[in-house]
Structure 1
Amino acid sequence: MTVSKPRASDPCNRSADDARFFRGWLKRPLQMGAVSPSSRGLGRAMAAYVPLGAVEAGMAVLEIGPGTGAVTQCLIDRGVPEESLVLAEYSPEFCELLAARFPLARIVRGDAYAPNGDLDAALGGRAVAATVSSLPLFTKPDALREQVIGGSLARMEPGHPFIQFSYALTVPVKPEKVGASVEISPWVKLNLPPARVLVYRRG
C-alpha cells in the first residue's frame, strides 16, 4: 500500500460516477464486484452503525473499498469528520477521485486483502472506531474473507463494528469462524440490487 494525495479533475461531477464505476468493473470484475456505486439508502444504513461517540473521542473510521466515495459521503453526512476517515482503495483512478473529493481524509492505495504498514501510518496511532467495507467478499475464497473480517476485528477494541453490505442470502463469513457475532439489517430494497448490512462484532 502507498499513502497518496493525488488530484482529480471535476471531482464534484458525481453524474459520471456510474460510468467510472462501470469502467472499473469491466477492467477488474472480481475486484469491483458491483457495476455501480452503492445507493444513498444503503450508504446511510451502513453509516448508522458507526459509533459517533468513539469518533468524537478521537478514534478513526476505516473504510475499505470506498470506490467513488458514495458511502464515504454518507459517513460524513452522519457526522463523521472528514479528517477522521482513512480510505483504503485499490484502484488508482478511484484514489485520485477520493483525494480530490475528500482532501482532509487519508487515502491509502493498496490491497485491503493484504494490508501493510502504510495503513498503520495513515491511522497515525489512532484506534479504529469502525471498519466500513464495500469489498466484494464473495468473489474471494473463504480464507481471504475470514482474513479481512477477522483481521479488521483484531485491529479494533471489543464491541466495535465491522460493517459490510451484501447482496447474498447468506453471510460471507460465518461469525463463529472469526470469533464474532453478526447483526443483519432488513433489506435495502431501493438499492440495485437489493442489499443488506452485516455487522460483525467481537465481545
Structure 2
Amino acid sequence: MNHRVAVRARHFSNKLKDEARFFRSWVENPLKTGAVSPSGPALSKLMAREAELDREGPVVELGPGTGVVTKALVARGINPARLVAVEYNPDFCVLLHRRFPDIHVVRGDAYALKTTLKDVAPGSLASMISSLPLFTRPPAERRALLRDALDLLQPGAPFIQFSYALVPPVPAISGEFTVERSPWVLMNLPPARVWIYRKA
C-alpha cells in the first residue's frame, strides 16, 4: 500500500513539475510554446490513435514539449526507435532524452522543417503528429509548414494537428490537401479537437 501511495505521489509531483516547466516556457516565449500546460491524456491518446502503425518508416512528432503525446505514441505500440521528436526548447530536449532514451530528439525549428529534417527523404515518413501552436503564426507560414510536412510524408500518410479553435489551422485546398476533424475532446482543458491532413 505504501509503495502504491509513493508511486502516485511521484506521478503527481512529476505532473506538477511538467506544468511548471510548460508555464515557465510559455511566459518566456508564448509564441513558441503556445499553451500554458501540456495536452491532457484524452487528447494525447486521440492524437496517438490517428498515427498509422501499419506504415513502415519513421514517425515524427513536432513540438513534443514534456513528452505527453510521445508517451501516448509509445503506449499505442510505436517502437521508440522509430520516433523522431523535433523540439525547439533546449530544456525540453534534455527532458525528452532522459524520459525516452530510445527516441531520436532533434533540436530545431519545425517551421523550417526541410532544414531541420534535412536527412529525411521526401515521401518517407509514416505519420507526423504536431502539437505546435499554429494559430500563433500567420496563415502563409502555417500553409508552408503543412506543405513541407506533406512532402516528407508517404502518399496518404497523415499530418495530425490539434487546436482549441472552431476552424482548422489550415483550411483544405482542393486538389492539394484534405482535412478531417475529430469530435471535441471535452475531457481536455480547454476542450480541443484533432485535425488530420492528407495530400490529395
* TM, length-normalised to structure 2: 0.89
- Say which SS state the counterpart of residue 158 (structure 1) adopts: coil
Write out aligned runs for 1:9-88 (5 A).
Answer: 13-54=14-55, 57=56, 59-88=57-86
Shift of 1:115: 2.8
Distance 2:41 2:47 in 1: 10
> Which string of whole-angstrom CA distances, capped at 9 and with x for unpartnered residues, describes residues 46-84 of structure 1?
011111111xx3x11000011000000000000111111
- Say which SS state the counterpart of residue 152 (structure 1) adopts: helix
Shift of 1:177: 7.1
**Partner of residue 100 from structure 1, selected from 98, 106, 116:** 98
The answer to whether the 8 A contact 2:179-2:196 is kept is: yes
- Say which SS state the counterpart of residue 176 (structure 1) adopts: coil
Identity %: 49
CA RMSD in angstroms comes to: 2.0
- Say which SS state the counterpart of residue 126 (structure 2) adopts: strand
Q: Unaligned 5+ residue runs, structure 2?
A: 1-9
Shift of 1:158: 1.5
Distance 1:178 1:196 in 2: 24
- Say which SS state the counterpart of residue 191 (structure 1) adopts: coil
Shift of 1:14: 3.9
Inter-CA distance 184–125: structure 2 relative to 1 (3 Å threshold): closer
Distance 1:145 1:177 in 2: 17
Distance 2:115 2:46 in 1: 30
Distance 1:156 1:129 in 2: 6
Q: Greater CA radius of gyration, 1 or 2? A: 2
Distance 1:165 1:116 in 2: 21
Aligned to 1:172: 169
2:84 alignment partner AA: V
- Say which SS state the counterpart of residue 195 (structure 2) adopts: strand
Distance 2:128 2:121 in 1: 16
> Which string of whole-angstrom CA distances, capped at 9 and with x for unpartnered residues, describes residues 122-172 of structure 1?
x58992100100000000001110011111011112210000001001111
Between stretches 146-155 and 178-187, larger displacement belongs to 178-187
More relative contact order, 1 or 2 (CA 8 Å, 6+ apart): 1
2:18 alignment partner AA: D
Distance 2:185 2:199 in 1: 25
Q: Unaligned 5+ residue runs, structure 1?
A: 1-9
- Say which SS state the counterpart of residue 13 (structure 1) adopts: helix
Distance 2:54 2:81 in 1: 15
- Say which SS state the counterpart of residue 50 (structure 2) adopts: coil
Distance 1:177 1:32 in 2: 31
- Say which SS state the counterpart of residue 38 (structure 1) adopts: coil
2:66 alignment partner AA: T
The answer to whether the 8 A contact 1:60-1:126 is kept is: no
2:146 alignment partner AA: I
Inter-CA distance 125–156: structure 2 relative to 1 (3 Å threshold): closer
Aligned to 2:7: none
The answer to whether the 8 A contact 2:44-2:68 is kept is: yes
